[in-house]
Structure 1
Amino acid sequence: MTTNQENVMTTILVPVDGSRQSMNAVEAALDFADYQPFDRLVLLNVQVPIVRGRSFMTDADVLAIYKAEADRAFEDACKTLEARGVRFEALAQPGPVAETIVRVAGEIGADHIYMGTRGYGAAISAMLGSVAGKVVGLSDLPVTLVN
């Protein structure tokens, strides 16, 4: 008996912040592709919203800051993916980091999230909270954490 396997599209989300740990997550997603190819790889940079208060910053100033920070965060990941010939998308959004990662994962139909951890250790993570831990708690998707 022969079974017809459906052509399943797999979408991977990798939040990046320019850190070594987020690059390790990009590498882990690429390693995963050796065993289970994916159809779509999306890099996401989340910027903590700038509180302007009584500043003289215009909306254009804020957008320029977000863009500069996102470009810096994407730089190494984009170079690595381009050098390997991997097609990808890069998204940048302001917002609460963990919540934005989970929201975007849902919006793009992600099947898996690969993300770096900061490696602070249990004591500091318990005091500061962990974005990675929050994503694991908020998401119904598999989340692979990479140090």
Structure 2
Amino acid sequence: MKKLIIVPIDDSLNSHQALKYACTVAKETDADIVLINVQPSYHSTPNIHRFISSAAIQEYIQETAEEILEKAIQTINNQEVHLEKVIRTGIPKVEITNLAKERNASHIIMGTRGLGAVKSAVIGSVSLGVLQLATCPVTMVP
């Protein structure tokens, strides 16, 4: 069975660096890469459906995630690695680790810091959460 590397992408420089590193690892180990972008779930926001339809919310989530993933793919300059894109909504650390479990990933490679509120942290809250929840090896890329 072919190895699979999960790479969370949030449009931060760290996530783009992680993708570049993941491409190197994937080439060396003959692995495929699954890019995941996790968007917030707006359905739990009180009264949002009074102002915006579910379809409009879903369209916004899809468009935003696609833009982020495409931008990341452009940063690797068409390297010869098989990439798959996954878009999820919810809590990033949970969705990333759930995908890794569902797909029996051999590895998660991610940036140490993303676009969270506390940008000066040594390690981001999502990164820390993934480290705590993951059932496969996790590599952090600064």
Pairwise same-fold verdict (TM > 0.5) = yes
Return the match for 1:10 from 3, 27, 32. 3
Supply the AA of the counterpart residue of 2:104.
Answer: G
- Give unmatched runs, 5+ long, in structure 1: 1-7
Q: For 1:34 and 1:84, how far apart are their aligned partners in 2? A: 9
Alignment of 1:46 onto 2:38? yes
TM-score (ref. length: structure 1):
0.82
Contact 2:97 2:130 in 1 (8 A): yes
Match of 2:138 in 1: 143
Alignment of 1:133 onto 2:128? yes
Provide the identity percentage.
31
Q: For 1:74 and 1:35, how far apart are their aligned partners in 2? A: 23
Match of 1:120 in 2: 120
Between Structure 1 and Structure 2, whose CA radius of gyration is higher? 1
Q: For 1:49 and 1:106, how far apart are their aligned partners in 2? A: 21
RMSD value, Cα? 1.8
Q: For 2:47 and 2:86, how far apart are their aligned partners in 1? A: 29
1:77 Cα deviation after fit = 2.0
Q: What are the within-5 Å matches in structure 2 for residues 9-88 of structure 1?
A: 9-38=2-31, 40-50=32-42, 51-55=44-48, 56-81=51-76, 83-88=78-83
Large movers: runs of 4+ above 4 Å: none
1:78 Cα deviation after fit = 2.0
User: Number of aligned pairs?
Assistant: 134
Q: CA-to-partner distance for each residue in 1:108-128, whole Å, 9 max, x for gaps?
A: 121100001216234xx6xxx
Q: For 2:112 and 2:4, how far apart are their aligned partners in 1? A: 21
Aligned pair in 2 of structure 1 residues 60, 81: CA closer, same or farther (>3 Å)?
A: same
TM-score (ref. length: structure 2):
0.85
- Give unmatched runs, 5+ long, in structure 2: 114-118
Contact 1:13 1:113 in 2 (8 A): yes
Q: Helix, strand or coil for the counterpart of 1:85?
A: coil
